[in-house]
Amino acid sequence: MDESNKYQFELAFKVRDYECDLQGVVNNSVYQNYLEHTRHEFLNAVGLNFAGLFNQGIVAVVARADIQYKYPLKSGDEFVCRLNVEKEGIKYLFHQSIYRLPDEKLCIKAIITTVTTKDGKLRVFKELDNAFLNVK
Amino acid sequence: MDESNKYQFELAFKVRDYECDLQGVVNNSVYQNYLEHTRHEFLNAVGLNFAGLFNQGIVAVVARADIQYKYPLKSGDEFVCRLNVEKEGIKYLFHQSIYRLPDEKLCIKAIITTVTTKDGKLRVFKELDNAFLNVK
Amino acid sequence: MDESNKYQFELAFKVRDYECDLQGVVNNSVYQNYLEHTRHEFLNAVGLNFAGLFNQGIVAVVARADIQYKYPLKSGDEFVCRLNVEKEGIKYLFHQSIYRLPDEKLCIKAIITTVTTKDGKLRVFKELDNAFLNVK
Amino acid sequence: MDESNKYQFELAFKVRDYECDLQGVVNNSVYQNYLEHTRHEFLNAVGLNFAGLFNQGIVAVVARADIQYKYPLKSGDEFVCRLNVEKEGIKYLFHQSIYRLPDEKLCIKAIITTVTTKDGKLRVFKELDNAFLNVK
């Protein structure tokens, strides 16, 4: 079964040459930029804002990033980054994947675990729950 | 007179949060990424390709980057990067500017001087002249 | 027991301001740069070379990066990145951790799984085994 | 005459593989990171601090970066970034250059023009003058 049809949010990108390293493919760390940007655009899409939350003292923190590299992206490749979020205790688990376009080749499969803090302490914010978990 | 109406190519972008530094604005070096990506997309638009040229041994090299920082971009800002190219001897001068959207506030004004080499020697390639200078 | 005393290789760093994002801490993706640079310097230390291997067609590929973010690094922080490598089937598992200096505060704990390929096919290279596994 | 013997500050670096792009050399934008980091370490050396100034509302802003690319750095290259600062009206001009080691090959020659602001307005701060201009 192809899971790529079920997701709460997706964002399209195109590889930029400066993101490629001397192996001629996107550098491993750059995928985390793609994943982060997709999460932040997802926040925007559900009415929240990363920089805005930060200015209110609400800090969304990545506690763990578990990224499987399935297939490398190259100069000029177009791709989508897809996202689902679920709650587990006080954590949000973002299930994120990157598919090359137009052939839907799976490139990245990741689970990014985040927590939210205020004044340095772990806290749960109802507005995030509402925003995240009611999206279909 | 607003020069922003005269250009050979433009590309739209949106600031990504990871591009901002601890001052909360886009880091100075990141504008060079924007400018480079715009030049490479311009190459594509005129039927050339940076990675492809490189694989043929044709290396486009930046000899000088003169960048004026007029106004900073912030998290979430949308902007366009505009480009004109002219030839001066064996050099191509890329006149590039970045305007925030939708208010067309000028953020960056740059002249990027490039030369082309093959096997480490400066050379002029007719296909680049044709591609660059016939675009209107 | 403090595991920080047992490792095959370590490299010292200092946070650079451009590595910090608008939260004022090192951006999550940048830690992968630190981890990668440490692995490549480890290669050098055992007589191998990432770019050199690549030029021989031997490509070391990250198959998985599992990174736990324990404590953030800030502008100006000094730190060490420590590394142990073990073999598991055809994979090398790099156990890497980042400790802030001078207080040895644990910031990052990661397992980076790599494989090696030649001409796009998974392969094991005796010279890597010898180089990696005889280091104490 | 070799100017490389006269400078107020220098910082040693080593190229990291992730800083190289698909041409196999350090990406043009990365040199701006090296130049910025050198300026910030120079601030530290003269008793100032970029992040600290920022937290007091004193923002050092780059108004112009004029960078000449003389020779590319490659994977593993070691180099120094040297710096002189002079005052011109309300601006500080940082004359910065990058030399490869150990052969002192000139790679980058740059003039970075900065201004300082408080609450968004251009201002001159005596502590910066004292710190910058009394260094020999």
Q: What is the pLDDT of residues A76-131, one digit of tens each?
A: 999 999 999 999 999 999 999 999 999 999 999 999 999 999 888 898 888 888 88
Residue partners of A88: CB distance under 8 A and separation at least 6: none
Is A133's pLDDT higher than 80? no
Ramachandran class of C49: left when φ > 0, alpha when ψ lies in -120 to 50, beta otherwise = beta
Percentage above 90 pLDDT, chain A = 68
**φ and ψ of B131, to 5 deg:** -70, -45
Provide the mean pLDDT of chain B.
Answer: 91
> What b/e sequence results for A118-134 when a residue is b if at least 16 CB atoms lie within 10 Å of its CB, and e otherwise?
eeeeeeeeeebeebbee
| Cα separation, A27 vs A39, whole angstroms | 20
| Cα separation, B14 vs B20, whole angstroms | 12
Is B5's pLDDT higher than 70? no
Residues of C in contact with B75 (CB under 8 A): 22
**φ and ψ of B71, to 5 deg:** -160, 135
- B4 band by pLDDT with thresholds 50, 70 and 90: very low
Question: Nearest-CA residue of chain A relative to C53?
Answer: A23
| Cα separation, D58 vs D121, whole angstroms | 10
* Widest distance between CA atoms in chain B: 45
Judge: A22–D17 Cβ closer than 8 Å, yes or no.
Answer: yes
Q: What is the pLDDT of residues D9-26, one digit of tens each?
A: 999 999 999 999 988 899
Residues of D in contact with B33 (CB under 8 A): 29
Name the β-bridge partners of D113: D64, D93
Judge: B33–A40 Cβ closer than 8 Å, yes or no.
Answer: no
- D75 band by pLDDT with thresholds 50, 70 and 90: very high
| Cα separation, A122 vs A112, whole angstroms | 17
* Widest distance between CA atoms in chain D: 45
Burial of D121 (0-12, 13-18, 19+ CB in 10 A): exposed
- Is C103 one of the annotated active-site residues of the chain? no
| Dihedral sign, Cα of residue D70, residue B128, residue D22, residue B35 | positive
Q: Helix (H, G, I), strand (E, B), or coil: what is residue B28?
A: helix
**φ and ψ of D123, to 5 deg:** -150, 155
Judge: A18–D21 Cβ closer than 8 Å, yes or no.
Answer: yes
Question: Nearest-CA residue of chain D relative to A29?
Answer: D18
Judge: C50–D24 Cβ closer than 8 Å, yes or no.
Answer: no
- The set of long-range contacts for D97-104, using a CB threshold of 8 Å and a minimum separation of 24, is D97/D3, D97/D4, D98/D31, D98/D34, D98/D35, D98/D73, D99/D4, D100/D71, D100/D73, D101/D12, D101/D77, D102/D78, D104/D2, D104/D4
| Site of tokens 């112009």 | D64
Residues of D in contact with B22 (CB under 8 A): 51, 54
Alpha helices for A9-118 (secondary structure H): 28-45, 50-55
Contact by Cβ (8 Å): D9, D81: no
pLDDT of residue B2: 44
Contact by Cβ (8 Å): A96, A78: no
What number is the average pLDDT over the span B103-123?
94
- B128 band by pLDDT with thresholds 50, 70 and 90: confident
Contact by Cβ (8 Å): C78, C16: no
Alpha helices for C2-135 (secondary structure H): 28-45, 50-55, 126-133
| Cα separation, C57 vs C71, whole angstroms | 38
Residue B117 carries which side chain, given as an amino acid letter?
Answer: T
Residue partners of C96: CB distance under 8 A and separation at least 6: C35, C38, C39, C81, C82, C83, C84, C108, C109, C110, C111, C112
Picking from D49, D129, D61, the residue whose alpha carbon sits closest to that of residue D89 is D129
What number is the average pLDDT over the span B44-52?
85
| Cα separation, C114 vs C53, whole angstroms | 14
CA–CA min distance B6, chain A (Å)? 25
More confident residue, D93 or D134: D93
Count of beta carbons in the 10 Å neighbourhood of residue D122: 12
pLDDT of residue B1: 36
| Cα separation, B37 vs C19, whole angstroms | 21
Nearest to B17 among A18, A36, A74 (CB): A36
Please state which of the ranges A114-128, B80-94, C83-97 shows the lowest mean pLDDT: A114-128
pLDDT of residue D54: 81
**φ and ψ of D73, to 5 deg:** -90, 145
| pTM, 2 dp | 0.93
CA–CA min distance B27, chain D (Å)? 9
CA–CA min distance B76, chain A (Å)? 9
Residues of B in contact with C21 (CB under 8 A): 17-18, 20-22
Strands C78-88 and C9-14: antiparallel
pLDDT of residue C56: 83
Please state which of the ranges A9-18, A125-134, C91-100, D89-98 shows the lowest mean pLDDT: A125-134
From chain B, which residues contact C within 8 Å (Cβ)? Answer: 17-18, 20-22, 24, 27, 29, 75
Whether the complex's predicted ipTM surpasses the cut of 0.85: yes
Q: What is the pLDDT of residues C15-66, one digit of tens each?
A: 999 999 988 899 999 999 999 999 999 999 998 887 788 888 888 899 999 9
